[in-house]
Amino acid sequence: MKIKAFEFNPVAENTYVLYDDTHECVVIDAGCYYPDEKVELLNFILNNELIVKHLLNTHLHFDHILGNAFMKEQFEVEPEAHEADNFLLRTMNIQLKMFGFPRQGRTPRIKNYLRENDVIEFGNQRLIVLEVPGHSPGSLAFYSGKNECVFTGDALFRGTIGRTDLVRADHGQLLESIRNKLFTLPPETKVYPGHGPATTIKEEMMHNFFFPDYYANK
């Protein structure tokens, strides 16, 4: 599996395109906001002759869904996410105002809800859905054992974790999600977060600021 990462919008959100030799692909967290960002994502997909099979969202905070309407218009795909984050779609323009963004048109509704252990298939690839609530109640991660990688959205970053000072966020729940869902993955698993550089499960178990005593407690 090949992975193309983009950094989009003023809050430096990571958008990922996953694809293989079949030319089928999935897009995770389409955060493209400016016209040139949309063109960049579109050109990559078209130039590589990719067929978009799924438009996945790790969660529904505004910076991760700014490009959903564009992707739906261009490729006739519906965004997929966890039902528990639906309330965030209703507060989209409130979120934008908080961060100094202008109002947007209606963002697409979620028509295919994802749950724990759902399987996302494209080409010769499979992603397993993991529920990792805390940063938002419907936060998800997408895991590929075959390719030893996981896409964690805003649950886990290099050296830190997602914000929990937001509406319906829960700090304790996020720590539990990371311990029980992410730190149980093989240590060599590469972590592709929603912001910032990639890392590994082992690195975060050993060095993440929020888990200083992890090994001591094992």
pLDDT at 113: 99
Q: What is the pLDDT of residues 39-87, one digit of tens each?
A: 999 999 999 999 999 999 999 999 999 999 999 999 999 999 999 999 9
- Mean pLDDT over residues 99-121, rounded? 91
Is residue 139 over pLDDT 60? Answer: yes
The mean pLDDT of the chain is 96
- Mean pLDDT over residues 16-40, rounded? 98
pLDDT at 214: 72
pLDDT at 105: 73
Taken in order of first residue, the domains within the chain and their CATH numbers are 2-207 (3.60.15.10)
Using a pLDDT cut of 90, give the percent of the chain over it.
Answer: 88
pTM of the model: 0.96
pLDDT at 215: 58
Residue 63 backbone dihedrals phi, psi, to 5 degrees: -70, -15
- Mean pLDDT over residues 19-47, rounded? 98
pLDDT at 189: 99
Note every long-range contact of 47-53, with CB atoms under 8 Å and residues 24 or more positions apart, other chains counting.
Answer: 48/19, 48/23, 49/23, 50/17, 50/19, 50/23, 50/24, 50/25, 51/23, 51/24, 51/25, 52/25, 52/26, 52/27, 52/77, 53/24, 53/25, 53/26, 53/77, 53/121, 53/122, 53/123
Number of residues that this document lists for the chain = 218
Report the chain's terminal Cα–Cα distance, integer Å: 33
Helical packing angle, 35-47 and 68-75, nearest 10°? 40
| Better-scored residue on pLDDT, 55 or 217 | 55
